[in-house]
A and B are shown apart, each in its own frame.
Chain A
Amino acid sequence: MKNRNIQKIIRNNMPWLILLAVSVIFSFISPNFFTVANVINILNQNAYIITCAIGITLVMMAGQIDLSVGYQMSLIGVTMGLLVQKLGMPTPVVFLIAIIEGIVLSEINTLLALKLKITLLMVTVGTMTVYNGISFTISESKNLSGFDDMFKFVAKGYIGPLPFAVIVTAILVVIMSIFLNKTYYGRYIYALGGNEEAARLSGINVNKTKLMIGFFEGLFVALGTIMLVSRVGTAHSGTGPGTEFTVITGILLGGVSIRGGEGKLSGVVAGILIMAILANGMQLAGWGTYVQFIAKGIIMLAAIGFDVYQMTHRKLVVDKTKDENGN
Chain B
Amino acid sequence: MSTAIRLDSIVKIYPGVKALDEVSFSVEKGHVHSLVGENGAGKSTLIKVISGAEVPNSGTIYVEEEPYSQMTPALSGQLGIGVIYQEYNLVPSLSVLENVFLGYKVGGKVFPDKKKMRERLAEVEKKLDIRLDPDEMVSMLSVAEQQFVEIAKSLVRNVKVLIMDEPSATLSNKDVDKLFDVITHLKEEGVTVIYISHRMEEIFRISDDVTVLRDGKHIFTGKIDEVDTHSLISMMVGREINETYPERHTPIGEAVLEVEHLYGNGDRDISFTLHKGEILGLAGLVGAGRTELAKVLYGAVPKEKGVIRVKGKEVEFRNPEDAVACGIGLIPEDRKGEGAFLNYSILWNSVVMALKKDAKGIFVDDRKLEEKARKLSKTFQIKAPSLEQLVRNLSGGNQQKTVLAKTFAADTDILIFDEPTRGIDIGVKHDIYQLMNEIAERGVSIIMISSEMEELIGMSDRIIVLHEGEMMGEVKKEDFDSREILKLASGIKEKD
* Surface stretch bound by B, among A54-62, A108-116, A281-289, A311-319: A311-319
B344 touches A (CB below 8 Å)? yes
Contact A202 to B406, CB < 8 A, known contacts A184-B355, A184-B356, A185-B362:
yes
A101 contact set on B, CB distance < 8 A: none
Q: Does A204 contact B (CB under 8 A)?
A: yes
Choose from A185, A207, A262, A316 the contact partner of B15 (Cβ within 8 Å): A316
Report if A11 contacts B (CB, 8 A).
no
Complex CA distance for A214 and B477, rounded to whole angstroms: 53
Q: Is there a chain B Cβ closer than 8 Å to A86's Cβ?
A: no
Measured CA separation A327–B362 after assembly (Å) = 38
Q: Count contacts on A: residues with CB < 8 A to the other chain.
A: 34
Closest to B390 in A: A318
User: Ordered nearest first, which 6 A-B pairs have the shortest CB separation?
Assistant: A203-B324, A323-B16, A325-B385, A184-B355, A194-B341, A183-B362
Once bound together, how far apart are the Cα atoms of A182 and B389, in whole Å?
Answer: 21
Interface residue? A205 (CB, 8 A): yes
Convert B449-489 into 0s and 1s, putting 1 for each residue whose CB lies closer than 8 angstroms to a CB of A: 00000000000000000000000000000000000000000
Cβ-Cβ contact count across A and B, 8 Å cutoff: 93
Task: Check A315–B392 contact: CB distance below 8 A.
Answer: yes
Chain B residues, CB < 8 A from A315: 392-393
* List of A residues within 8 angstroms of B389 by Cβ: 322
Partner of B364, one of A183, A194, A205: A183
Known: A197-B338, A198-B341, A200-B300. A205 touches B319 (CB 8 A): yes
Interface centre among B16, B324, B342 (most CB of A within 10 A): B16
Residues in B neighbouring A316, C-beta threshold 8 A: 15
Chain A residues, CB < 8 A from B14:
319
Closest to B334 in A: A197
Tell me whether A182 and B332 are in contact in the complex, defined as CB-CB below 8 angstroms, given that A187-B355, A319-B16, A323-B17 are known contacts: no
CB < 8 Å: which of B15, B17, B362, B406 contacts A184?
B362
User: In angstroms, how far is the closest chain B Cβ from the Cβ of A325?
Assistant: 4
- Can you list 6 A-B contacts with CB-CB less than 8 angstroms, sorted by A residue number? A182-B364, A184-B359, A197-B338, A203-B320, A203-B324, A319-B14
Pairwise interchain contact B343-A261, C-beta atoms closer than 8 A: yes
A120-151 Cβ-contact flags toward B at 8 Å (1 or 0): 00000000000000000000000000000000
Residues of A within 8 A of B41 (CB): none
- B321-A203 in contact (CB<8A): yes
**Complex Cα spacing A167 to B363, Å:** 25
CB proximity to B under 8 Å, residues A188-217: 188, 190-191, 194-195, 197-205, 207
User: Provided the pairs A184-B362, A194-B344, A325-B385 are in contact, do residues A200 and B320 lie with their beta carbons within 8 angstroms?
Assistant: yes
A319 adjacent to B340 (CB under 8 Å): no
- Pair B15/A202 contact, Cβ less than 8 Å: no
A103–B324 Cα distance when bound, in Å, is 31
